[in-house]
Structure 1
């Protein structure tokens, strides 16, 4: 006989939310390692002591962790998912009848007390501290890299010096535009209202802090860069920094991240792994001489010639004599006469030019393959060449080859960020908005990594959501 479900209302229900969450659910593993006990104390100075009680900040942080762990990009949809999903309610410590905060609460707190107190950075460092307690951070080797993330900006809605446009909104400028103008005034304050404000060639009218960039072979778009500094043992992100999508700014962000980890956790790596973008002479000098870090980085070197003439690497450097020797044994010096006042001969490009004798070059049998278009040979040596030589020597070691393989861990994190966490395009505008999103995403990645590694190591399976 065909059965039929009886729709009879019960007067009382015995319902235990804990029993309905699978033991291998990802949130169970994350909940074990997410400790927000210090959050309220951290935020206390930013709340009033009178008035109506606000939404619990720990509840909002837990909801945001769910959103970034499971790729729920909209806060409106996040509130709906937490309302419907039992596991999400359990993780947020909500009962079946507890109300979900309105989605506008997140925006109000994010632009207010969360940003003023750096609450997201506090949560990230609390999670990182737990990773260190669990032994997932060795501190011996770090890797650094940057990835470009599209901004929430239309590349057709721009202003240029050739076609200037007014900021949309008139007197009521958007938050992203106000932050951009405030940053300009801070770096280059104007003396009067008539002074022009310096702007890049192409500026987005909706998110002017986003950088107009293009990947090789692809169309240009507005974007920001997320910079990761990871520990090579388990691929834990030890720091993250949001910057404009520009190579020089990305490289400088590395110094900020390494110093911040050293100041707050007392950890300085023995080696730093990166691609060629981090192999500039000033950066190598900072690693070798300022920080005492072994640079496992390919040197940014443009001394190799492509016209089949002799490159500077074929000249022998004599440190004691402060000179080069050409293949024929002739010297190249930075000064051929003595000065009463010693000079360092450094140029604005931080190089010292070493020159051969015009007479010796003109009588040399190999002039055609050395300096066919000039009267004598010149070599521009960087004032940081000593650090570059250290990096070149390391590049021939087995440790360097191993570092090249380990560097793939940071590339995998960027792929996970875009494909699994769905952060291939930002939702918030401005550099501050990009910073919030990148920090929360890095926090979610560290939590997922802990939940996967440590729970498996202790014999409890965890279902990793895709």
Structure 2
């Protein structure tokens, strides 16, 4: 019998969001771990908020909504608020009832930016790793480190000469406006005898985004800076690639299951990876007397970096350069060196996840502080995305 296509039009509907989510949905385990981590951070939230004034958006809901945006690759806060209007899964995870109003996008963004600083994102990641079900998955002796480039929200046209630098040697282009005539010039137009109202200049696409030819110009971080994001740097990691305006994201991974335990964002330069590695090891295991191992690629094969690791009671399992390597047979003769070199390559998987799912290929934020908070939260979401399968086994 054919069914009828009629709208019920019922006045009341009783919907329990808990019954709408499948029992084996992976977000159930993720939500459980997140809620336990947020409960442990309750004293931190109390110190951030005043006891007087209007109540703001609950910090627990702000963090859960930010995780949903990362896990489901929602490209903007406005689209996130739009989807939360009709997506019951999003409402259930964030903690909104079926009749609760969704926040205004700008209000949500303002409240979230005040809460999710780099320090708070690190505390949230630490709370997740300290969970009673997650902690047994971690290794406390063997780690790997690496860095990746994050493209800045700035174009190459914004990379302009600094104010204290000499102007570049190039001729004016065909689209450049002519210089204003000198008042003492004989060709200057005479002063009008009456007042004239000049028309407003029309904004054209050519004036807003004029063509630019960078061929033959010498552009470096010493003489140029981006007017859009002054903290972005022109950098490239591989010899065959082109330099881009970017930041550098760093992660410290434990080698047992490949979970990220520390994250850092710095300006891009040739020494940033080694400096960030030392800071992350110190932050994760301060004053550790247990012998640790740290796997890394050839970019970390530097004499001063290897010396600093040995002073920190860390065995440097760093890939050797073909010439002038600081790693000798004292390290490579052990079987653990080969194991670390094999395991360290798993650190590329969180980078790939962050750039495809977490939208970290090019950030829409400016500055290392805001980008650092977003990068750390993305790496925490990457850990959460892997937990359902890891805990199931």
Measured against the shorter chain, the TM-score band is 0.7 to 0.9
Secondary structure of 2:153 counterpart = coil
Inter-partner Cα distance in structure 1 for 2:290 and 2:133: 14
Deviations 1:274-298 (A, max 9, x none): 011111011111111x111111113
Does 2:325 match 1:295?
Answer: no
Deviations 1:117-162 (A, max 9, x none): 8322221111121277541112121000001111111111121234
User: Who is 2:141 aligned against?
Assistant: 140
Secondary structure of 2:126 counterpart = helix
Question: Residue 248 and residue 135 in structure 1: after superposition, are their counterparts in 2 closer, same or farther (change >3 A)?
Answer: same
Aligned partner (choices 103, 109, 112) of residue 111 of structure 2: 109
User: Who is 2:341 aligned against?
Assistant: 404
Inter-partner Cα distance in structure 1 for 2:321 and 2:305: 10
User: Who is 1:430 aligned against?
Assistant: 367
Deviations 1:18-43 (A, max 9, x none): 11112232311211211211334212
TM score, norm. by length of structure 1? 0.67
Question: Residue 396 and residue 70 in structure 1: after superposition, are their counterparts in 2 closer, same or farther (change >3 A)?
Answer: same
User: Who is 1:23 aligned against?
Assistant: 23
Does 2:208 match 1:206?
Answer: no
Secondary structure of 1:247 counterpart = coil
User: Who is 1:90 aligned against?
Assistant: 92
Inter-partner Cα distance in structure 2 for 1:213 and 1:228: 19
Max radius of gyration: which structure?
A: 1
Inter-partner Cα distance in structure 1 for 2:140 and 2:324: 34
Inter-partner Cα distance in structure 2 for 1:303 and 1:272: 20
Identify which range, 132-141 or 266-275, moves more after superposition.
266-275
Contact 1:239 1:257 (8 Å CA) reproduced: yes
Contact 1:72 1:78 (8 Å CA) reproduced: yes
Deviations 1:197-216 (A, max 9, x none): xx733311111101111343
State the superposition RMSD in angstroms: 2.4
User: Who is 2:303 aligned against?
Assistant: 281
Contact 1:144 1:273 (8 Å CA) reproduced: yes
Structure 1 unaligned regions, length at least 5: 165-198, 305-387, 458-466
Question: Residue 397 and residue 61 in structure 1: after superposition, are their counterparts in 2 closer, same or farther (change >3 A)?
Answer: same
Greater than 6 Å deviation, 4+ residue runs: none
Identify which range, 151-160 or 132-141, moves more after superposition.
132-141
Contact 1:273 1:297 (8 Å CA) reproduced: yes
Inter-partner Cα distance in structure 2 for 1:239 and 1:107: 25
Give 1:236 deviation, angstroms. Answer: 1.0
Deviations 1:308-364 (A, max 9, x none): xxxxxxxxxxxxxxxxxxxxxxxxxxxxxxxxxxxxxxxxxxxxxxxxxxxxxxxxx
Does 2:152 match 1:151?
Answer: yes
Inter-partner Cα distance in structure 2 for 1:18 and 1:45: 32
Inter-partner Cα distance in structure 1 for 2:130 and 2:381: 14
Give 1:268 deviation, angstroms. Answer: 5.7
Structure 2 unaligned regions, length at least 5: 169-220
User: Who is 1:270 aligned against?
Assistant: 292
